């Protein structure tokens, strides 16, 4: 079985700081990490090959520095890693990205047929959740999003059964391979890398493919292949804070001061939410 | 103005403004821009001073004093006429177990505003089985026409079945704008349609408007944890597609006297032979937790994670007829289920009253609470981000404040109808 996991290098949002003068995020110097949902996908893929045999290939589209994230995936048990990096790919939106990644899966498919493509549910920077379904649609793979459990794979029937989260519940679904799954965090945290795997990951050769190797049409990749373009970027107007009641002035004074204020100023909202006749007794 | 050793005027990046979007990297004809440590960096020796990066930069982060010839954005005439065939604002009417999703009506309401500015009509795209009543409701909420695909194959949502059908409908009806609710279903579906139609799709928009000069949809969305807003255009492809989370736009009023046309759309729907739904596990509706519809939320943060205090939080919530929600650390610690998580990786909420206890106010959380009417912070750190932005804050130990608050509320409101906390 051949499983391809698509991963993305994202800024570590826990490290993000805000420039108080401009109210914008300070991007410079923020460390890059592998999108947490994608690491869950890598773990799921490795587990499946441990159970059913096969190979896990990890691919990412990004700048040369994204090699670090691929090495992390190798240390978690992936068998090979491919970096798709080319200036012509820069500025891609989700349509151009899914085209490029689907082209890479097709290329991998030539030498070793791909049964499963795994993606994280969404990336924590863009948060679009569009790339996985885009890849599935291009490849004609059946798409199963929000997968929270892999129930099993039937190798002879060539089917996979998963649990996927839907609004107000979940579904158990059986699908014919090949499939594209996007995974939820509940599927299971990635393991700790073993020492031999860490060493292997450092030494492992990472293939680099450009748009030419993938045979991509030039007008479908990067900025050119992106129907959407960012017109402007701006900082949202900051929400201005209101009165602060400090208990260092006494608990009773702070709490009652607060209650008096909201019962006076927010009477309209309170009368809507308080399940009474709307009458309020003043203390 | 800086020059390189070849005496060329070169462009300079203001790293503070750079959002690392890579547009300039893709635009630079000589490949002299790289993203280093999250921001663009120009290699001076390679720069030819063409100014193309300045034109494309959406955040005005590239300085270049030399006058750049402003190239008018002109699309080929053939393309323009092709685009002109696309008319009207379409809204996907999502049906869950025979009931239309509120977000669909919210989008119909917004669609009316957009259509008014474009002097065009609003169309409902309705897919399901036995959905006649919903078609009439769509007109009451503001659709001028509703295209209905009613077929047993649409009884239960399957990506490929719905995706193929709606793609076909878009090809026939040619809407210039197509809006879809960013529910789990809508997010699964929208990318399938956009990929099939080879058009642009902007996820989770918090603002939609019309650029009246260019007659384009302005799609504004938070990116990167919500602290940067980006306005996105889809210039040369149609329809311009966008998803919007529930509760972002106001629910329009239903008017049963409105007139509109119901158009059955002939389409041979087929079940997907490659997929079988073996079982559907429903959360019992009575026990279902839906924090997105709560009018009052008592939201617990990392600073309020002692489970011995949970009964107290629940008492406060039940006094106000509200629900308990939380920020991400409490879910990660296994204290509360994921359905109660608010924020970027959780739910977007829009209560009338948001009470954050021990919530620090990280950007990833704040992006999910922007629609709240009034925000109250209870926090022991007066410098916490949440205290800086809340409409009202009480600073101190919540274990002392909340009992006082409960006592004070009871004293002021003598005839509480106590509801159980949801």
Chain B residues inside the 8 Å CB shell of A227: 198-200, 234-237
Q: Is the dihedral of CA A139, A142, A147, A153 positive or negative?
A: negative
Interchain CB contact of A29 with B (< 8 Å): yes
Task: Report the pLDDT value the prediction gives residue A282, as an integer from 0 to 100.
Answer: 38
- Which residue from A126, A123, A119 is spatially nearest to A146, judged by alpha carbons? A119
- Average pLDDT in chain B: 89
Q: End-to-end CA distance of chain B: give it in Å, rounded.
A: 62
Task: Report the pLDDT value the prediction gives residue B393, as an integer from 0 to 100.
Answer: 96
List, run by run, the mean pLDDT of 10-residue segments along chain A (283 residues): 96 68 67 92 98 98 95 97 95 95 98 97 86 98 97 97 91 98 90 92 95 95 93 78 90 91 88 59 36
Chain B residues inside the 8 Å CB shell of A166: 184-185, 280
Helix (H, G, I), strand (E, B) or coil at B292: helix
**Residue carrying structure tokens 């979007």:** B21
Chain B residues inside the 8 Å CB shell of A251: 396, 400-401, 404
| In chain A, domain spans | 2-220, 242-283
Helix (H, G, I), strand (E, B) or coil at A165: strand
Q: Which of A227, A258, A259 to mutate to test the interface with B (most CBs of B within 10 A)?
A: A227
Distance CA A187, CA A41 (A): 8
- Fold for A2-220, please state it: Rossmann fold (3.40.50)
The β-bridge relationship of strands B374-379 and B353-357 is parallel
Per-residue pLDDT reduced to its tens digit, B361-390: 987 788 788 778 899 999 999 999 899 999
Q: In this structure, what token pair is assigned to residue A71?
A: 């090495």
Q: H-helix or E-strand containing B261?
A: strand B261-264
Q: In this structure, what token pair is assigned to residue B21?
A: 């979007």
CB B9 within 8 A of CB B66: yes
Annotate A123-159 with b (16+ C-beta within 10 A) or e (fewer): bbbbbbbbbbbbbbbbbebbbbbbbbbbeebeeeeeb
Helix (H, G, I), strand (E, B) or coil at A207: strand
Task: Report the pLDDT value the prediction gives residue B67, as an integer from 0 to 100.
Answer: 66
* Burial environment of residue B29 by CB neighbours within 10 A (0 to 12, 13 to 18, 19 or more): exposed
Cα dist from B321 to A272, B278, B408, whole Å:
11, 38, 16
- Which residue from A100, A111, A94 is spatially nearest to A139, judged by alpha carbons? A100
In which band, very low, low, confident or very high, does the pLDDT at B344 lie, cut at 50, 70 and 90? confident
> Which position has the higher pLDDT, B156 or B348?
B156
Distance CA B106, CA B319 (A): 30
Per-residue pLDDT reduced to its tens digit, B276-312: 999 999 876 656 678 887 889 999 999 999 999 999 9
- The DSSP output letter for B99 is E
Total-model pTM: 0.85
User: Do B352 and A273 make contact, defined as CB atoms within 8 angstroms?
Assistant: yes
The residues with which A161 forms a beta bridge, in sequence order, are A152, A174
Q: Is the pLDDT of residue B234 over 80?
A: yes
Does the N-terminal peptide bond of residue A178 adopt cis geometry, omega within 30 degrees of 0?
yes
Task: Supply the DSSP string of B342-374, one letter for each residue.
Answer: BSTTSB----SEEEEES----HHHHTTTTT-SE
Helix/strand/coil (H/E/C) assignment for every residue in A31-79:
CEEECHHHHHHHHHHHHHHHHHCCEEEEEEECCHHHHHHHHHHHHCCCC
Task: Report the pLDDT value the prediction gives residue A283, as an integer from 0 to 100.
Answer: 32
Distance CA A177, CA A172 (A): 16
User: Do B281 and A171 make contact, defined as CB atoms within 8 angstroms?
Assistant: yes
Q: Which domains does chain B have, with CATH numbers?
A: 12-63 (3.30.70.20), 82-264 (3.40.50.620), 291-412 (3.40.50.1220)
Task: Report the pLDDT value the prediction gives residue A185, as an integer from 0 to 100.
Answer: 84
User: Do B191 and A173 make contact, defined as CB atoms within 8 angstroms?
Assistant: no
Q: Which of B194, B284, B352 to mutate to test the interface with A (most CBs of A within 10 A)?
A: B194
All residues at 6 or more sequence positions from B123 whose CB lies less than 8 Å from its CB, including other chains: B88, B89, B90, B91, B143, B144, B145, B146, B147, B173, B175
| Residue B1 CB coordination number (10 Å) | 11
Distance CA A172, CA B211 (A): 45
The β-bridge relationship of strands B261-264 and B145-150 is parallel
Task: Report the pLDDT value the prediction gives residue B4, as an integer from 0 to 100.
Answer: 79
User: Do B23 and A230 make contact, defined as CB atoms within 8 angstroms?
Assistant: yes
All residues at 6 or more sequence positions from B354 whose CB lies less than 8 Å from its CB, including other chains: B297, B299, B369, B372, B373, B374, B375, B376
CB B319 within 8 A of CB A273: no
Interchain CB contact of B79 with A (< 8 Å): no
* Residues B106-118, mean pLDDT to the nearest whole number: 97
Distance CA A15, CA A30 (A): 6
Torsions phi, psi of B36, nearest 5?
-120, 125
> What is the interface size between A and B, counted as CB pairs within 8 Å?
346
* Residues B321-339, mean pLDDT to the nearest whole number: 90
């Amino acid at each position: 079985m051949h499983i391809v996991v698509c991963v993305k290098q994202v800024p570590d949002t826990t490290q993000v700081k805000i420039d108080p003068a401009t109210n914008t995020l300070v991007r410079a110097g923020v460390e890059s990490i592998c999108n947490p949902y994608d690491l869950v996908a890598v773990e799921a893929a490795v587990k499946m090959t441990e159970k059913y045999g096969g190979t896990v290939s990890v691919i990412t589209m990004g700048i040369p520095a994204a090699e670090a994230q691929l090495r992390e995936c190798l240390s978690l048990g992936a068998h090979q890693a491919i970096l798709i990096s080319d200036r012509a790919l820069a500025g891609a939106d989700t349509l151009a990205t899914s085209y490029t990644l689907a082209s890479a899966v097709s290329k991998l498919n030539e030498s070793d047929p791909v049964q499963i493509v795994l993606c994280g549910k969404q990336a924590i920077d863009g948060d679009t959740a569009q790339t996985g379904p885009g890849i599935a649609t291009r490849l004609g793979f059946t798409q199963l999003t929000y997968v929270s459990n892999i129930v099993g794979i039937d190798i002879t029937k060539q089917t996979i059964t998963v649990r996927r989260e839907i609004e107000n519940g979940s579904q158990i679904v059986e699908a014919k391979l090949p499939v594209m799954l996007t995974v939820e965090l509940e599927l299971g945290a990635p393991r700790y890398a073993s020492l031999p795997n860490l060493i292997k990951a450092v030494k492992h050769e990472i293939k680099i493919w450009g748009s030419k190797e993938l045979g991509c049409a030039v007008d479908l990749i990067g900025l050119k292949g992106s129907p959407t373009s960012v017109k402007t970027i701006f900082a949202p107007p900051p929400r201005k804070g209101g009165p602060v009641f400090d208990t260092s002035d006494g608990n009773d004074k702070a709490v009652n001061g607060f209650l008096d204020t909201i019962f006076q100023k927010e009477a309209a909202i309170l009368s809507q939410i308080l399940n009474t006749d709307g009458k309020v007794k003043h203390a | 103005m800086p020059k390189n050793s070849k005496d060329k005027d070169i462009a300079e990046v203001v790293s503070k403004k750079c959002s690392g979007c890579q547009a300039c990297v893709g635009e630079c004809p000589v490949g002299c821009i790289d993203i280093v440590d999250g921001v663009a960096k120009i290699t001076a020796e390679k720069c030819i001073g063409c100014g193309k990066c300045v034109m494309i930069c959406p955040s005005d982060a590239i300085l270049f004093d030399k006058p750049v010839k402003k190239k008018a954005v002109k699309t080929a005439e053939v393309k323009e006429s092709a685009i002109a065939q696309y008319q009207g604002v379409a809204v996907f009417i999502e049906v869950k177990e025979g009931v239309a999703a509120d977000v669909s009506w919210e989008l119909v309401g917004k669609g009316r505003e957009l259509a008014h500015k474009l002097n065009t009509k609003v169309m409902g795209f309705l897919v399901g089985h036995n959905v006649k009543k919903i078609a009439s409701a769509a007109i009451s909420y503001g659709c001028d026409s509703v295209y209905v695909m009613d077929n047993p194959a649409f009884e239960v949502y399957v990506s490929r079945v719905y995706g193929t059908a709606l793609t076909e409908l878009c090809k026939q009806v040619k809407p210039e704008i197509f809006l879809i609710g960013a529910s789990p279903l809508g997010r699964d579906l929208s990318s399938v349609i956009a990929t099939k139609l080879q058009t642009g799709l902007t996820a989770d928009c918090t603002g939609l408007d019309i650029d009246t000069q260019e007659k384009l949809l302005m799609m504004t969305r938070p990116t990167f944890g919500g602290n940067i807003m980006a306005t996105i255009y889809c210039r040369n492809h149609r329809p311009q597609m966008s998803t919007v989370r529930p509760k972002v736009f106001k629910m329009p009023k239903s008017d049963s006297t409105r007139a509109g046309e119901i158009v059955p759309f002939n389409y041979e729907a087929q079940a997907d032979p490659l997929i079988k739904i073996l079982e559907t596990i429903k959360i019992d509706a009575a026990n279902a937790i839906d924090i997105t519809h709560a009018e009052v939320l008592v939201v617990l943060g990392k600073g309020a994670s002692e489970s011995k205090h949970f009964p107290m939080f629940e008492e406060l919530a039940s006094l106000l007829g509200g629900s308990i929600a939380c920020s991400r650390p409490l879910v990660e610690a296994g204290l509360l289920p994921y359905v109660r998580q608010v924020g970027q990786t959780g739910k977007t909420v829009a209560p009338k009253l948001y009470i954050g206890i021990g919530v620090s106010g990280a950007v990833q959380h704040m992006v999910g609470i922007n629609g709240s009417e009034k925000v109250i912070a209870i926090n022991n750190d007066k410098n916490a981000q949440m205290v800086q932005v809340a409409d009202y804050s009480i600073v101190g130990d919540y274990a002392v404040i909340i009992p006082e608050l409960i006592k004070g509320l009871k004293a002021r409101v003598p005839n509480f109808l106590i509801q159980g906390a949801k």
